[in-house]
Amino acid sequence: MSTLPVEALSTGTARTAAAGAGGERTAAPLAPRARLLPALAAVYRAQLSRARVARIPLLFVATFQSVGIMVLMRGVVDGGAEARAVVAGSSVLVVAFVALNLLAQYFGQLRASGGLDHYATLPVPPAAVVLGAAGAYASFTAPGTVVTAVIGSLLFQLPLTHLWVLAAVVPLAGAALAGLGAALGLLAPRQELATLLGQLGMSAALLLGVLPADRLPGPIGWARDLLPSTYGVEALARTFDAHPDWTAVALDLSVCAAVGVASLAAATWAYRRAAVR
């Protein structure tokens, strides 16, 4: 229960009395909108607590899927640049499974069930809702991504020295893919279509991220360049070299960050559009 100063109570009483005496009614001022960072933290904690029960199954499915792909590719890929591409693509695929696929389904379900109306009544900035949900879903991917990268490195005999770069790859690729997943879920007119788009997006991340770039035909290679997770895959793959080109790694991560900002902005716009309809 909140408390108010005596001066505020007396002032409010005086204004009410004056309004009643004059026969006029004045609208009470609304509460100020919450600031972005506190609102973002509140939404993030709420989403994290909500999905905590499903955390272990999500991690297991995403990780098992990526490890299984690497085991299958081990029969046709021996080493070199192809092995680096397979391990990097499979590791980022864990992020795509959760941040893109499941987030698209979540926002599609939220829109279909009218759950957006709940958030629309709260004095919370739209960016906080999108960023909080995206951050919570992307947070689930970190353990699975690390496990996949370690298993893949051991499987293809790649160095483990520079796997610390995952600390940058996971949040940047997660932001880019989560923004895309949220936008797909919010813009889809039906929940089933949101699920379909999420599945197609994850399939694109699988085919275009895991397969070596030099094995892809020209038009498909151009599509690969448009996929947000590609630059996270490239950055991680470069770190498996004996002497990584850190300038190229930083450039790939910068592009991934820029794409992440753009995709989250698009998701925020899609949220505003869906909340007022």
Spatial contact of 145 and 238, defined as CB atoms under 8 Å apart: no
Contact between 190 and 260 under an 8 Å Cβ cutoff? The reply is no
Task: Find out whether 104 and 201 touch, Cβ atoms under 8 Å.
Answer: yes
**Per-domain residue ranges of the chain:** 36-275
Per-residue tens of pLDDT for the chain, all 277 residues: 444 444 443 444 444 444 444 445 555 455 566 677 787 788 888 777 766 665 667 778 888 889 999 998 888 887 788 889 999 999 999 988 888 888 888 888 888 887 777 777 777 777 888 888 888 877 778 888 999 999 999 999 999 999 999 999 998 988 888 889 889 998 988 889 988 998 898 888 888 888 777 777 777 878 888 888 889 999 999 999 888 999 999 999 999 999 989 988 998 898 888 876 6
Q: Residue holding tokens 């895959």?
A: 233
User: In Å, how far are 26, 44, 154 from 106, measured between CA atoms?
Assistant: 41, 15, 35
- Distance, in Å, from the CA atom of 231 to the CA atom of 233, rounded to the nearest integer, reads 5
Q: DSSP character for 223?
A: H
Query: Does the predicted TM-score (pTM) go above 0.95?
Result: no
**Quick one: tokens of 185?**
């879920």
Quick one: pLDDT at residue 245? 92
**In Å, what is the CA distance from 123 to each residue of 36, 119, 273?**
10, 8, 17
- Cα–Cα dist 142/124, whole Å: 27
The rounded Cα 17 to chain-centroid distance in angstroms is 52
Measuring CA to CA, how many Å separate 177 from each of 142, 147, 229, 254? 14, 20, 7, 15
Alpha carbon of residue 134 to chain centroid: 4
